Structures are given as C-alpha cells and as structure tokens.
C-alpha cells in the first residue's frame, strides 16, 4: 500500500493539472465566431479609421515626433562581416561588423539580388582596411569610421550606381588575440 500511494498522488495531481489547464485555455482564448464590440463598429465605418490614422500622422509631423517620411530603403545583410585585422603578417584582432546600405526605394524589391556581389566586394574592402590599420581604429576615431564608410559607399556605387545613398555601421565587435 505504501508503494501505491505516491503513484496515486501523481495521477491525481496530473489529472487536476490537466483539467485546470484545459479549462484555463477555454476561458482565455476568444471564440472564433464572436467579434469584439469595437471590431463590429469599425466595419461599419472603415473610412473613419483611415482618417484618424492620417490625422494622427499629421499631428506627429507637426510636433516633430513620430515616424519621418524617408525616401530610402535599407539592405540589411543576412550575416555579419567577420574581418581579421592583420599587422606585419600576424593577426592582431578579429572584428565583427553589422552593416546595412541605404538605397533608393525604387530598388527596394530587387536589392537582395545584389547581396552576394555586395558582400564579396565589401569583404575585400574590409580586408584592405584591416591591413591598412584603418579598421582597427574605427571605434576610437571618427575619421577612421568616416573613411571606412566612404570606402564602402564607393564600393556600393560600383555595383548599385547612384542608388546607394549611405552606409550604416550598426554594430562593431572586437576580439583581441
């Protein structure tokens, strides 16, 4: 009897836990046939919601807050760039860069077709910058950061033309050897 008691307690506790979870799930999930009261009124006046959104955007623009109208799209590379910094033939550090390109919005749909070419060209330029001791200083020197960005922008111009507007370096990681 002593050996059966723990098994019976576990079964009872499991049954109560499962039943409680089942009833909790039913009470917290909305029924698919019922609609909230505010949703029914929105369907009757669909233009009202659009007008409210437009007025809200106008107010945000007047205040200088909220989303700004941008005439750009962004190519965010799927992976970060990992670049060794080499000095006198020996690796000094490893840098990890997260880079995006600001492009003309007309190119937004087709921009990811250029990603492999851009990645290849950017990695070559980053290797050159790493061996020229420019990349190692981008954290400490704004001039080095601007030099790296302008070099990458020129590289983007060779592939995308004038559709490339700016280079955004969103993250830098450094691992010393």
Domain positions in the chain = 4-63, 73-176
Longest Cα–Cα distance in the chain: 84
Q: How far apart are CA 157 and CA 33, in angstroms?
A: 54
- The model's pTM is 0.60
Looking at domain 73-176, which CATH architecture does it have? 2-Layer Sandwich (3.30)
Find residue 91's DSSP bridge partners: 86
pLDDT digits (tens, 9 = 90+) for 4-61: 888 888 888 888 787 777 777 666 545 444 444 444 444 445 555 555 554 554 444 4
């Amino acid at each position: 009897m002593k050996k059966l008691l723990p098994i019976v307690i576990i079964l009872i506790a499991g049954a109560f836990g499962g039943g409680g979870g089942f009833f909790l799930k039913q009470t917290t999930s909305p029924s698919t046939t019922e609609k909230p009261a505010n949703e029914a009124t929105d369907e009757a006046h669909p233009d009202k919601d659009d007008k409210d959104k437009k007025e809200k955007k106008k107010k945000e623009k007047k205040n200088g807050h909220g989303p700004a109208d941008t005439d750009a799209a962004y190519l965010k590379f799927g992976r970060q760039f990992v670049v060794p910094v080499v000095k006198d033939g020996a690796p000094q550090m490893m840098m990890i860069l997260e880079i995006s390109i600001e492009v003309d919005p007309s190119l937004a749909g087709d921009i990811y077709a250029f990603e492999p070419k851009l990645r290849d060209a950017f990695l070559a330029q980053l290797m050159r910058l790493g061996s020229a001791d420019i990349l190692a200083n981008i954290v400490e020197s704004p001039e080095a950061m601007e030099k790296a960005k302008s070099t990458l922008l020129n590289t983007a111009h060779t592939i995308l033309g004038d559709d490339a507007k700016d280079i955004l370096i969103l993250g830098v990681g450094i691992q010393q050897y």
